[in-house]
Amino acid sequence: MSGASVVTTTVDSPEAAESLAKGIVEARLGACVQIVPIRSVYRWEGEVRVDAEWQCVVKTSAIRVDELVAHIKAQHSYDVPEVVVTPVTGGNDDYLAWVSEETS
């Protein structure tokens, strides 16, 4: 186990993605946030919707996950924001050490 996690969320604009990402990195809740434009198909309030969204993929330390999730929920404009945490089970040890250092 590496002690790292990847946390994924989506937002409704590139500006919201950049603002959220900067806040996360500035607060040392994530070492890096990648922003990817995506198209989401989902059911909300009984209706199937198709929307452009921006996916934010945050690399963080497992010990910062709860604080990061709380930060995302507090800063998010959605009623029910997507926040999915995936544990990292391996990878480039040098990169994972950098993630740990940047989030401590």
Summarised one tens digit per residue, pLDDT across range 46-100 is 999 999 999 999 999 999 999 999 999 999 999 999 999 999 999 999 999 999 9
Inter-residue contact 28 to 102 (CB < 8 Å): yes
The total of structural domains in the chain comes to 1
Domain CATH code at residue 70:
3.30.70.120
Residues 6+ apart with CB under 8 A from 87: 1, 4, 5, 62
Q: What does the pLDDT average to over 42-46?
A: 95
Position 28 confidence tier, pLDDT thresholds 50, 70, 90 = very high
CB atoms within 10 A of CB 66: 10
Q: Which residues pair with 40 in a beta bridge?
A: 51
> Which whole number is the average pLDDT over 15-21?
98
List Cβ neighbours of 46 (8 Å cut-off, separation of 6 or more): none
Residue 1 banded pLDDT, cuts 50, 70, 90? low
Domain that holds residue 70: 4-102
pLDDT at residue 5 is higher than 70: yes
Beta strand pairing call for 32-44 and 47-61: antiparallel
* Cα–Cα distance, 61 to 31 (Å, whole number): 8
pTM metric for this prediction:
0.93
The secondary structure of residue 76, as a DSSP letter, is -
User: Predicted confidence band at 2 (pLDDT cuts at 50, 70, 90)?
Assistant: confident
d(CA 40, CA 44): 12
H helices of 31-76, in order, are 65-75
Q: State mean pLDDT over 10-35.
A: 98
